[in-house]
Amino acid sequence: MDRTLTLVIAGLAGLMLAWPLRFLFGRLPEAWLQDYDYDPSHAGIRPAKRMRILPDTLLLGVILGVSFGLAVYFNPQYIGLSMVFHVLLVTLPLLPLSLIVVSDALNRIIPDQFTLCVLVFSLFGFFGDIFEGTLWMSDATPWYVLIVYRLFGGLIGAGLLFGIGILGTRLSGQDSIGFGDIKLIFALGLLTGPYGLVFDLFFAFIVGGLYAIPLFVAKRRRIRAEEAMILKSENPEETRLSLEEKRAGISYSDDPDYIAFGPFLAIGAAVFLVFETPIYHFFVEFFVARGI
């Protein structure tokens, strides 16, 4: 098939898949999109937000269309050699990964069911490595080593993030890494393998850190504004209590200071899948060729 036609078909497929994803997301059980202590009988419960046509679905369609097209463009050997499992690996996992980002953006929650879907799609990686080969290991590598290779990625990722979570909790006095993130990184480690895991963690920490800077600045400005309001008020103690009650009444899903790590992990994994071939060549030319 002509390469241009393949790119167009892949792009259109990604674009069109946003609509069934919107349909699916709109029919997810309410409990999936709420916090773990969700009580439907609670008077102050906020209904979960669902995807809208504009801008949510249209934006998701454009992103998926571009991602599917780039996945085909930067990994042409998968199409040329009819490496079906690898084609599925660099495209289909983008669907649950995109829903993870959407769910967190709208409701500040990542359903475990999405993580399970990523875990199931990681089987394409196992099958692809065994039956079609992998860029990262020689064709003579035994099948059981290829299985251990991806399992190693999941276990190391989960263990590393668990350790970071314990350290962060002790330093900050509050939970820094949720168990949901640990389950997600385990699934992503299986999906991308240990090399992809390294890229994913590096991407998530760098991009997540950059994203946190403006939020931190906005938080400091808000605190200064509140302190100024308290000082200027006729009854500072009453004003302070009023502001504290107002903050306490903010739903976790509307908390302006909320920063989740999971979406950055999902985006990092998606970037690795789409650009795996050029990332591999960069790794070989920059590190291996220099003996690093």
* Whole-number pLDDT of residue 92: 96
Residues of the chain with pLDDT under 70: 1, 43-44, 172-178, 248-253, 287-292
pLDDT at 196: 95
State residue 173's pLDDT score.
Answer: 64
Q: How many domains would you assign to the chain?
A: 1
pLDDT value, residue 223: 86
Q: For the whole model, what pTM was predicted?
A: 0.91
Range(s) of the domain holding residue 280: 3-288
Confidence at residue 285, expressed as pLDDT on a 0 to 100 scale: 74
pLDDT of residue 251: 67
Q: Note whether 61 and 18 are within 8 A (CB).
A: yes
